[in-house]
Amino acid sequence: MTHLSLRGFDKELERRLRELARRENVSLNEAALLLLRRGAGLDEAGQPSAVVGDALDRFIGVWSVADERRLLKSIAACETVDEALWK
């Protein structure tokens, strides 16, 4: 198995991760893997999930070009690597 190290957990993410680990009676590592799989659209066995969310369906076909520009501008900071986290 591949090993990865993650840095930069904020307090809320840590709290939710620990809460999931307690609720599912699994280690923090297993809870983190579970969340990563879910976020990647995979089931617990690592296979593509058949469940497709509909949370964004209401936005289909309603955004203007200006809306798109505003969104892309607002998330531009997410494209920047925080060098302090990699030291």
Strand, helix or coil for residue 1 = coil
- Per-residue pLDDT of the chain (87 residues), as tens digits, is 788 888 888 999 999 999 999 999 999 999 998 888 888 888 777 677 766 677 778 888 888 999 999 999 999 988 888 888 877
Amino acid, res. 60: I
> Is 32 in contact with 6 (CB distance < 8 Å)?
yes
Q: How far apart are CA 50 and CA 42, in angstroms?
A: 8
The CA R_g of the chain, rounded to the nearest whole Å, is 17
- Global pTM reads 0.51
